[in-house]
Amino acid sequence: MKEYKLETLIYYSKLTTDREHIIKSSTEGIQEKLDLMAKEGWRLVSTDASNFGSALYFYLYFERDTQDYV
pLDDT string in tens for the chain (70-residue length): 899 999 999 998 878 777 787 778 888 899 999 999 999 999 999 999 999 988 889 999 999 998 755 5
CA–CA distances in Å: residue 48 to residues 16, 31, 59: 25, 15, 5
Residue 13: what are its φ and ψ, rounded to 5°?
-75, 150
Q: What is the DSSP letter of 13?
A: -
What pLDDT score does 49 carry?
94
**pTM, rounded to two decimals:** 0.82
The count of domains in the chain is 1
| pLDDT on residue 58 | 94
Cα separation, 11 vs 29, whole angstroms:
10
